[in-house]
Amino acid sequence: MRGAVLVIASGLASTIPAPVERACESAQAALRERDRMIAELVGKGYVLEEFGAAQVPAAKRRAPKLGELAHHAELEAQLEAAPDDPNAWLVFEDWLLDARDPRAAIIEHERSGDVTAAAQARGAINKLLLGGRGSTFDATVSRAEWRAGFLRACVVDATGARGRHRLAELVATPAARFLTELELELSDFAVLRELAPAKLLGTLRVRHETVTAREQLVLDAKVLEPLGRLAALDVRRLSRLEPAPCLGRLRSLVLEYDHEADLDQLGAHELTKLESLHVQLVNDERVVLTHSLAPAMPALRELRFTAWWPNNARHLVEQAIASGLLEQLDRFAVVANADAHVLTAADRDRVFGGAFANVPHVQLPKSLVE
């Protein structure tokens, strides 16, 4: 690379080929194209060498032992950088097939569409993927999505006396290395500390197993700080959320409250990337919104409230209007006991003094529209 220019030369090792220059849109674009080309070559069997790097003596080189997972630092680093890139997965899988890695049979069955055979192939190397206690995860992990022997998404039951320990064991396994989506059932928010090694998590849904009807459930978002790629957070059964800088990285936030929801707490840290906020109320709870939220959420385009008690709907609408957030929204909804009506342009100009005139998509209970 030379800035935004990619310089390519190919030929036999004994020749001095003439380089060809290819202009890219930017230096980043050139970097991505270079990495893609290298990954493609490596996938074909070429070996990546660094100029001036010491050669490993042939006597010290060895193929992976039978029953040993193979590793390719460069290809795995590319997957870590873009865990949802299908091309990066294809290149890595091709290399695993060529290396006759224990996961090769899984990949072959997945590519043929034989889900049952792929599951059986995973079971055959269960200890390699999930460690010596892999069988204990059968009752813990559900709705799992796999690729090439790696967990991409799943639901984990971390409730009970050993829930925290089981979660810590799972995220430390080779299978969880590229885990990006997780739904977690827990009985203590402190369990979330065990997610620190899951660096690639982008979506996290948390379901709290409430012990008593009015238990105070406080989540300190600081426990999520190690999850640097977390972009979507969904927390059910919550009394209060203590903000932390990590919330500023979120694009989507869903909160289910069983006590009065003081959303002004979210303004303690600027949520500059937040695009969608969904607040659900389990009981006949109130919501506190003030003008402090609008400057804290400059990218917010969707605000949604779900209430189980219809008599709370008007209060939610009035709070949203008073907050000043409507000026920046594309979508606003209040759904009360599954009752929601899509407002026409005429409705938006008429109800609540025309407060929704400039919001393109609005849903309100019919009682507030008629």
Q: Name the pLDDT band for 58 (thresholds 50, 70, 90).
A: very low
Taking each continuous run of H as one helix and of E as one strand, the counts in the chain are: 11, 17
Contacts of 172 (CB under 8 A, 6+ apart): 131, 197
Instruction: Please tell me which residue, 364 or 239, carries the higher pLDDT value.
Output: 364
- State pLDDT tens for residues 38-54: 766 766 667 666 443 44
- The per-residue pLDDT for range 309-348, each reduced to its tens digit, is 777 888 889 889 988 899 999 999 999 887 889 999 999 9
What pLDDT is attached to residue 199? Answer: 94
Instruction: Give the pTM.
Output: 0.79
Residue 320, Cβ neighbours under 10 Å: how many?
23
pLDDT tens per residue, range 26-36: 877 777 788 77
User: What percent of the chain lies above the pLDDT cut of 90?
Assistant: 55
Instruction: Say what the pLDDT of residue 33 is.
Output: 82
**Identity of residue 190:** A
Backbone conformation region of residue 160, classed left if phi is above 0, alpha if psi is from -120 to 50, else beta: left
Q: Helix (H, G, I), strand (E, B), or coil: what is residue 29? A: helix
Q: How far apart are CA 173 and CA 122, in angstroms?
A: 14
Using DSSP's 3-state secondary structure scheme, residue 51 falls into coil
Out of 134-143, 201-210, 237-246, pick the least confident. 134-143
SS3 283: coil
Distance between CA atoms of residues 8 and 6, nearest Å:
6
Under 8 Å between Cβ of 349 and 316: no
- Do residues 102 and 128 lie in contact, with contact meaning Cβ atoms separated by under 8 Å? yes
Chain mean pLDDT for the chain: 86
